[in-house]
Amino acid sequence: MAANFKRGFPKWGDLSPLLKFTLPSLPNRKKRLAKALTIWDLRAIAKKRTPKGPFDYTDGASESEVTLERARRAYLDLEFRPNILRDVKEVSLECQVLGEKFAMPVGMAPTGFTRMMHSEGENAVARAAQNFGIPFSLSTLGTTSIEDVVKAAPKGINWFQLYMWKDRDASMQLVERAKASGVKNLILTVDVPVAGARLRDSRNGLTVPPSLNAKTLIDALPKPEWWFNFLTTPAISFVSMKNWKGTVAELLDFMFDPTMTFEDLKWIRGQWDGQLTIKGIQTVEDAKKSARYGADAIILSNHGGRQLDRAPTPLHLLIDVKKELKADLEIHIDTGIMHGADILAAIALGADFTYIGRAYLYGLMAGGQEGVERTLTILRSEMLRGMKLLGVNSIEELEPKHVRVLPTYAGLGTLPGVK
């Protein structure tokens, strides 16, 4: 058979455009983060650079951890239905939430002990949120005060999340400080009568700050930057209470109030004249009841899978809650969001707003504020590309018709990026 091409020795003129040599250079944060193309990539970097205790606190969930797995899987068990031949040269992610305009339909969820993940802590996250035009929520269990967060990000939208403690007066003192700092939205978390059984933390004996012992020192050897920052920056401490000498699990059980009821919600509504968001709604009935008690928004959340094992999956709950509540109050959602497409899907199915937690903490552990901004850059890029491929120009155009929920199949294997 005759050859379809003729071989010959390559000429230098043909090879020279293909040869691209660069001088070797030392690794740095910017180059490291630039290689991260997905949130899972940031997670992989974070795992290499963060001691086991703080990483597992972020990465883990309660008991079997199936609740978190199901929440993430729910977003993968969706099928998009794009419209073709639409002019999508210009698309906008802007949204209106609780009377504020944001650049993207995603906010930073409250997370505890954030300076344990990286020394830049809450300030880094608040500044990143400010730079991207989205809100940051400070946790009651934060390691930076609300006053310092506002000072770090004075042009940002800073919200405050409240755990109702057994000491009601101490709880409301935090609320008053938040109000004095200009906070307009109070996020009341209601799914913590006791702490969930977070087995990774118990096995690691996690304390805040992490204890220096033989085990942690051995773990520190391949993570020198984390330990250098830990030892040369102000001590990690709680700004809303005195330091706790026990484990994280013991602290949470000590603080959380198992007697809290809807009457307490009614009382808080009477104390707080700003926007009130209820976080931790897991049934249609409680969503409707929260609306009756004066909530401005609810967050469908199972606490990132960190409380009740095998709790409801927020994305599955969203459709029923939207059908029942319609426009009674805003419906927000968290847990399981690892891709910009997850955000678009939640909005299409009826959510007014979404929150990320682990996604930005992976970025924080991977590279401080720059890492958080890399998280937001990745999500924004994924959302913009997804909207163009769906044939929509704005968030308001996303509807249930753009998403189909696929049957859930068992044995689909591990989630992408998890090893």
Lowest-pLDDT range of 99-103, 143-147, 193-197, 234-238:
234-238
Lowest pLDDT segment from 22-26, 47-51, 370-374? 22-26
The average confidence (pLDDT) of the chain is 89
**What pLDDT score does 352 carry?**
97
> How many Å apart are CA 158 and CA 175, to the nearest integer?
13
Residue with tokens 């993968």: 76
Q: Which of 139, 161, 160, 167 is nearest to 259 (CA)?
A: 167
The 10 Å CB-count burial string (b at 16+, else e) for 328-339 is ebbbbbbbbbbb
Identified catalytic residue from 303, 332, 339, 402 = 303
Decide if pLDDT at 396 tops 90: yes
Place domain 30-405 in its CATH homologous superfamily. Answer: Aldolase class I (3.20.20.70)
Tell me: pLDDT of 118 over 70: yes
Per-residue pLDDT reduced to its tens digit, 257-287: 888 899 999 999 999 999 999 999 999 999 9
Q: What is the pLDDT of residues 37-51, one digit of tens each?
A: 999 999 999 999 999
What pTM value is reported for the model?
Answer: 0.91
Mean pLDDT over 216-222 rounds to: 77
**The total number of residues written for the chain in this structure:** 419
Q: How far, in Å, CA of 226 to CA of 47, rounded?
A: 12
What are the structure tokens assigned to 72, written together? 């993430």
Query: Residue 413: pLDDT band by 50, 70, 90 thresholds?
Result: very low
303 assigned to active site: yes
Identify the weakest region by mean pLDDT among 148-162, 185-199, 254-268, 369-383: 254-268
Find the largest Cα–Cα distance for the chain.
91
- How much is the average pLDDT of 376-392? 98
Whether residue 409 is predicted with pLDDT greater than 60 in this model: the reply is: no
